């Protein structure tokens, strides 16, 4: 089988290449998956493309959100059949040999319902990441949740909190992200500068603050805003991954957490078992079932989150747009059906 794939050939260089894939000598847990579509994770992939990580080497393949169908499988793969539609942490390619059955979620296949369009199905990955936050939050009907950062994950988290009956306030200084959030049905969306966001939350909650505040931006300065905007005995959820060094006076924030009895919750995606286990209510498999059900029934909106659904021939243009033209490029899905 001839397979095409996207490669970062060197720093800042995007190429589309081809290779031969064989179904011969599949390992017992190995599968061959022909992809329908893959989603770009802009933050992670742009960092790799431009060498912003300490361990970045080239050439490298990228991507971790793929939907496709099993073409062939090894003898030990008994939970799927050839022809089944699956989601997995696949690369940007038309087909891939993938080792299933590992004990972490990036080493397993998960069922993907056939009725979800290929342009929408890869968003199940970001929906599953976003669902980590409401899954670990103690939430009562009508609680106010303030989500700081309305990128793809923050938008989906805001939608998912609304599905749980929360009153959601979404905040982002980027106007386009706020427009997309409104198109997705977020209750209240505020495109205000960061320095005004805490006061905005207080104004909308009669000075009390939100019962739950969520950092979906992955920035330490946003976490401080989440602490300040949280209500007494509230919860501060860290959904984003802080990466940028920030110089700050931490004692004031720690004292605020201590005296107002706040709880800090780390909402990293890797905390759940990768597959269903007896007695485990929340697993990666159950979260994917929930997310795909919500997408399939239209309760989780993904259409506005997609700016482009294009063939891989446009890959270089897409990565450049995600880096330089964020008002035009925000959610890119590659179509591998051809």
Whether residue 169 sits in one domain with residue 70: no
Whether residue 136 sits in one domain with residue 115: no
Q: Is residue 27 part of a domain?
A: yes
Q: Is residue 92 part of a domain?
A: yes
Task: Pick the last residue of a domain from 270, 296, 322.
Answer: 270
Query: Element (H or E) spanning 38, and its range?
Result: strand 30-39
Whether residue 247 sits in one domain with residue 169: yes
Measure the CA–CA gap between 157 and 139, rounded to whole angstroms: 14
Q: What is the pLDDT of residue 54?
A: 67
Domain extent, residue 198, equals 126-270
Total domain count, the chain: 2
CATH of the domain at 130: 3.40.50.720
Whether residue 8 sits in one domain with residue 56: yes
3-state secondary structure of 297: coil
pLDDT digits (tens, 9 = 90+) for 245-304: 888 888 999 999 999 999 999 999 989 999 988 888 899 999 999 999 999 999 999 999
Whether residue 115 sits in one domain with residue 185: no
Instruction: Give the angle subtended at the CA of 87 by the CAs of 273 and 270, to the nearest 5°.
Output: 25
Measure the CA–CA gap between 19 and 220, rounded to whole angstroms: 42
Query: Element (H or E) spanning 175, and its range?
Result: helix 175-183
Residue 111: pLDDT band by 50, 70, 90 thresholds? Answer: very high
> Which range, of 9-18, 19-28, 69-78, 80-89, averages the lowest pLDDT?
19-28
Q: Is residue 49 part of a domain?
A: yes
Residue appearing with tokens 């427009």: 179
Whether residue 235 contacts residue 262, with contact meaning beta carbons closer than 8 Å, is answered with yes
Q: Residue ranges of the alpha helices (H) in 230-283? A: 250-259
Q: Is residue 283 part of a domain?
A: no
Whether residue 146 sits in one domain with residue 258: yes
Q: Is residue 221 part of a domain?
A: yes
Q: What is the pLDDT of residue 264?
A: 97
Q: Is residue 278 part of a domain?
A: no
Whether residue 245 sits in one domain with residue 319: no
CATH of the domain at 10: 3.90.180.10
Q: Is residue 212 part of a domain?
A: yes
Whether residue 200 sits in one domain with residue 107: no
Q: Is residue 65 part of a domain?
A: yes
Partners of 308 in the β-ladder? 332
Report pTM: 0.93
pLDDT digits (tens, 9 = 90+) for 147-206: 999 999 999 999 999 999 999 999 999 999 999 999 999 989 999 999 999 999 999 999
Whether residue 136 sits in one domain with residue 20: no
pLDDT digits (tens, 9 = 90+) for 56-80: 899 999 999 999 999 999 999 999 9
Sign for the pseudo-dihedral over CA of 49, 52, 58, 62? negative
Whether residue 226 sits in one domain with residue 182: yes
Whether residue 326 sits in one domain with residue 213: no
Q: What is the pLDDT of residue 97?
A: 97
3-state secondary structure of 212: strand
Query: Element (H or E) spanning 220, and its range?
Result: helix 220-229
Whether residue 317 sits in one domain with residue 223: no
User: Would the pLDDT of 241 be above 90?
Assistant: no
Average pLDDT of the chain, as a whole number: 95
pLDDT digits (tens, 9 = 90+) for 164-176: 999 999 999 999 9
User: Would the pLDDT of 115 be above 70?
Assistant: yes
């Amino acid at each position: 089988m001839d397979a095409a794939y996207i490669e970062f050939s060197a720093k800042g260089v995007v190429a589309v290449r081809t290779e031969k894939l064989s179904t011969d000598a599949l390992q017992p847990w190995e599968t061959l998956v022909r992809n329908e579509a893959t989603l770009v994770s802009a933050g992670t992939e742009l960092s790799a493309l431009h060498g912003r990580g300490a361990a970045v080497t080239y050439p490298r393949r990228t991507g971790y959100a793929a939907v496709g169908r099993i073409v062939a499988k090894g003898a030990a793969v008994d939970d799927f059949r050839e022809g089944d539609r699956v989601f997995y942490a696949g690369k940007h390619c038309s087909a891939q040999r993938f080792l299933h059955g590992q004990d972490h979620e990036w080493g397993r296949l998960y069922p993907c319902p056939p009725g979800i369009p290929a342009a929408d199905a890869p968003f199940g990955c970001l929906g599953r990441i976003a669902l980590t936050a409401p899954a670990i939050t103690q939430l009562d009907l009508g609680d106010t949740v303030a989500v700081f950062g309305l990128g793809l994950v923050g938008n989906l988290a805001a939608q998912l909190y609304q599905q749980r009956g929360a009153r959601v306030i979404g905040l982002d200084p980027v106007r386009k992200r706020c427009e997309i959030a409104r198109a997705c049905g977020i209750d209240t969306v505020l495109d205000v500068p960061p320095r005004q966001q805490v006061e905005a939350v207080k104004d909308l909650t009669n000075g009390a603050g939100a019962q739950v505040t969520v950092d979906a931006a992955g920035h330490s300065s946003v976490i401080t805003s989440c602490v300040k905007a949280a209500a007494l005995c509230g919860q501060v959820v860290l959904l984003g991954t802080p990466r940028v060094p920030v110089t700050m006076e931490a004692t004031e924030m720690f004292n605020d957490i201590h005296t107002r009895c706040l709880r800090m919750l780390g909402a990293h995606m890797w905390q759940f078992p990768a597959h269903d286990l007896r007695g485990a209510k929340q697993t990666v498999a159950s979260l994917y079932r929930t997310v795909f059900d919500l997408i399939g029934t239209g309760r989780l909106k993904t259409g506005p989150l997609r700016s482009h659904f294009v063939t891989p021939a446009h890959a270089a243009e897409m990565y450049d747009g995600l880096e330089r033209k964020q008002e035009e490029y925000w959610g890119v899905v590659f179509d591998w059906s051809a």
